[in-house]
Every structure is written in structure tokens, then in C-alpha cells.
Structure 1
């Protein structure tokens, strides 16, 4: 497994990962949001490659003062889920944030994925916001404890 910094040449593979996870984990409407994020809002974004194939991706963004970081756009190939790739990518990004002086780490996710983040030590911060991302995709705002 190799984790490396994102390049725009990775876009087709990342888009395919999103599509493979739609509608189970993402709404169709989120495709445009992901492409906008990749084009305009990246702080740090990474790709996971296994045997020459992109099997996952995810990034983080920091607040302007650099003290708070939020994991963003985690996508793992369905065939790779449950095999430790998502955990390795999350731990890698947490370590990268800590190297940059980030002291508060969060993630904004859905009811479908929040148990994964709980296993990594994240706790729910605020009440759930129904249909936040899209219909049937609620917001779970979590912080690493």
C-alpha cells in the first residue's frame, strides 16, 4: 500500500471510487461537490494505491489559524472496505495534521460511516442534522478525543 499526495491526474479514478460508493455511502448530487472540492478547496489530499490501482482517497482541511483540522472526502473502494485501508489512511492524515501543529481534529460524516470513526476514537459533538448532505444522508459532526 502506498499513500501519496493527490494530483489532478487522479481525478478519473477518484470519481470512479465515488460512483462505486453511490448510493450506498454518497448521494448522486455529491459528485459535483467532490469535483468542486478537488478543483477549488483542497488543503491536503491523498490517494491510496495498491498494486498500481487507486483503492482509496481522503484529505483534510485546516482552519485559517491552523489549529483545527477536519478529515474530508474519505472514499474507499468497496472491495477494499473492512481491510484496514481506511484506518491506515485516517491514521496517516491524523499524523500529518499533528506534524503541522493541528490540536483539534474533527470529521463531518453520515449515519452510515460514523461507527468507523468511533472505532478510531472520534466522539459525536452535536446533535445529528437530518438530511444535511442530501435526503437520507444526515450530518454527524465528530471530534477526536
Structure 2
């Protein structure tokens, strides 16, 4: 299986929410969904990537730079 990375697109939103929820409660809690949706709708940019295997979305993650701050954003597999 070959893993592929590409820029996030709005069409990925539902699959990424499903991926987040599949990681509850071990890594996330269900109430994280609202924050994740806010991030996808308002902050995801060209630095936020989606991971696919055989054309199926299986994860996401990215980084950001805001002023002097840098960070990792919503890494989910």
C-alpha cells in the first residue's frame, strides 16, 4: 500500500471528522469535534495535509506559523 499526501480540501471534511471520532476516547474526546471543525473551516491552509491510502482518507496533519509562534496542528491517523 502506498501512502499519499495532498493539500486539504473542503470535500475531505466529513472523512476527517470520522477519522477524529475513530480515535475517541484513546487520543481525543468527542467534544474535540467542535474545535476541529472550527480549525478546518477557519484555519486550515496549504500547510494542512490529508493522508490517503488507496484513495481513502486515513489521516491529516499540518503546521502553522503565526508571528513568532510555530506549531503542529491536528495530527490524526
> Which range, TM-score by smaller chain?
0.7 to 0.9
Please give the residue correspondences for 1:1-145 in structure 2 after superposition, counting only pairs within 5 Å: 1-43=3-45, 44-64=47-67, 68-76=69-77
Structure 1 runs of 4+ aligned residues shifted over 4 Å read none
Whichever of the two has the greater Rg, that structure is 1
User: Match of 1:26, SS?
Assistant: coil
Across the two proteins, how many residue pairs are aligned to each other? 74
In the alignment, the residues of structure 1 paired with residue 43 and residue 50 of structure 2 have an alpha-carbon distance, to the nearest angstrom, of 16
Asked which structure has the greater RCO (Cα within 8 Å, sep 6+), the reply is 2
Any idea what the Cα deviations from partners look like across 1:98-138, whole Å, max 9, x if unmatched?
xxxxxxxxxxxxxxxxxxxxxxxxxxxxxxxxxxxxxxxxx
TM-score, with length taken from structure 2: 0.88
| Aligned-residue CA RMSD (Å) | 1.2
User: Does structure 1 retain, via aligned residues, the 8 Å contact 2:8–2:44?
Assistant: no
Deviation at 1:61, TM superposition (A): 1.2
- TM-score, scaled relative to structure 1: 0.48
Q: Is there any run of 5+ residues in structure 1 with no aligned partner, and where?
A: 77-145
State the alpha-carbon separation in 1 of the partners of residues 56 and 19 from structure 2: 11
SS in 1 for 2:44: coil
Unaligned runs of 5+ in 2: none
1:48: how far off? 0.5
Offset from partner CA, 1:66-94 (integer Å, 9 cap, x none): xx421110000xxxxxxxxxxxxxxxxxx
CA distance in 2, matches of 1:69, 1:25: 22
